[in-house]
Amino acid sequence: MAIGAELCDAKSGIGLNRYYYVLGSDVKGARQSGPAKVTVKESGPLVASLLVESAAPGCKQFSREIRVIDGLDRVDIVNTFDKTAVRAKEGVHLGFAFNVPGCTTRMDIPWAVIRAEIDQLPGACKNWFTVGRWIDVSNADYGVTCATLDAPLVELGAITGNLIGSQFDPNGWIHKTGSSPTFYSWVMNNHWHTNYLAEQSGLKTFRYALQPHKQYDPIAAQRFGIECSQPLVVCRPTAPRPSRLRY
């Protein structure tokens, strides 16, 4: 869809789908992925994609496939990495910075759509949010809907989920927030002091779909989120066809 605007905020230094690895709670020391090798993965008339491979802290291997499909007004992103086993407190975040000035950020939750701060009860968590199928950043003229298929936690404006050792310190929690054209998908961490696995390792995949649009349409956003998370699956029937219909 032609909207006459550059959606990526290139001046932010974040870009779209940038990898951040935070060891401990030092967000200022967040490390990014290294220099990238870009190759063509798919070059067909239906699907075209680029494969971006780079070293990344906390991973043995890290790749990003950027894919477009003929006839669909969206960009698919598939992040795949082989996570190393780390028992120190760590977190992995993927940053998305959009060029949508004066935006309103909306998030899909069960049976509703919320705006940060405006639609929250007093005392609700603002360091991170849980979305159902999508998050949308829009102003009065245009915007973009991001379907997050594998990671429901997002942070608005900055990496704000690192509260290691501060869970019971009220000064560690954000008291006021609002819309932002930048958000981070918080894909994994081992911060919790409970009976979860102490480390996260092995092959992981986190997928996203970006759809630009003109004015925000809640029905279109819901349809987009559903079609991305519940795609049609084509399969060949295995049972023999009946010889005749019975009524």
User: Tens digit of pLDDT for each residue in 146-202?
Assistant: 999 999 999 999 999 888 765 567 777 888 999 999 999 999 998 877 777 888 899
pLDDT of 58 reads 95
pLDDT at 208 over 80: yes
241 token code pair: 């066809």
pLDDT of 245 reads 60
pLDDT at 240 over 90: no
Q: How many CB atoms lie within 10 A of CB 95?
A: 22
Q: How far apart are the C-alpha atoms of 23 and 28, rounded to whole Å?
A: 10
Residues of the chain above pLDDT 70, percent: 95
pLDDT of 246 reads 61
Q: How far apart are the C-alpha atoms of 85 and 90, rounded to whole Å?
A: 11
Q: How far apart are the C-alpha atoms of 115 and 223, rounded to whole Å?
A: 19
What DSSP string runs through the chain? ---SS--B-GGGS--EEEEEEEETT-GGG-EE---EEEEEEEESSSEEEEEEEE--TTEEEEEEEEEEETT-S-EEEEEEEEEPP--S-EEEEEEEEB--TT-EEEEEETTEEEETTTTS-TT---S-EE-SSEEEEE-SS-EEEEEESS--EEEESS-----TT-TT-GGGS-S-----SEEEEEEEE----SSS-S---EEEEEEEEEEEESS--HHHHHHHHHHHHS--------SPPPSS---
